[in-house]
Amino acid sequence: MADDAAKEVAAGQRLMAEGDYKGALSRFNKATRVDPQNPDGWFGKAEAAAALPQVATDEIIGAYSKARELQKDEGERAMIHSQLGAFALREGKLELAEQSYKKAAELDVENAPYYMSDLAIEYYMAVAKRMDEEGSNLELDAARKKSLAFFARALDLDPKDAARLLNL
């Protein structure tokens, strides 16, 4: 059972590398049917589905969530959280993105600055992209403020120190 799922995951990963996301999704779906406890199958399913516009956002988030729930290795779980965060930003689910990146930083303390700086940039870009030309400066300023807070966390600065340094 586990061997069959592992073979399907490996086949799905090969197809992903070739750019065949539909074929990969089919293999990952099979892996999760054969072994519903296989985190790599669920993660592959989420990654392949995220590349296909016809797959529902909630289904993709569900697959990432299942992979994260089943994954025992903290480093792998951090990566799953990070990928879920990136997907959530693309879909405009800002709160989920923030939670996911923060959890990745919590699980992988050594690389926490990278997760937080990614969140800072990608959060700002996602908000700015979604704003139309008539968007208010207040909305953009709110996104900038939040992004700066993420950067401060990436640099291990409290808000007072960040303000002090920016007033050089």
Task: Render pLDDT for 34-49 as a digit per residue (tens, 0 to 9).
Answer: 999 999 999 999 999 9
Q: Confidence class of residue 131 from pLDDT cuts 50, 70 and 90?
A: confident
CATH code (residue 48): 1.25.40.10
Q: Confidence class of residue 123 from pLDDT cuts 50, 70 and 90?
A: very high
* Residues 66 and 101 occupy one common structural domain: no
Asked whether residue 24 is assigned to any structural domain, the reply reads yes
For residue 114, what are the domain limits? 94-168
* Residues 101 and 138 occupy one common structural domain: yes
* Residues 168 and 100 occupy one common structural domain: yes
The total number of structural domains that make up the chain: 2
* Residues 3 and 61 occupy one common structural domain: yes
| C-alpha to C-alpha distance for 163 and 17, rounded to whole angstroms | 45
Neighbours of 2 (CB within 10 A): 10
The amino acid occupying position 132 is: D
Share of the chain above pLDDT 90, in %: 80
| Among 72, 102, 130, residue at a domain's last position | 72
Residue 29 CB contacts under 8 Å (≥ 6 apart), including other chains: 45
* Residues 28 and 68 occupy one common structural domain: yes
Residue 128 has pLDDT above 90, yes or no: no
pTM: predicted TM-score of the whole model, two decimal places = 0.90
The amino acid occupying position 124 is: Y
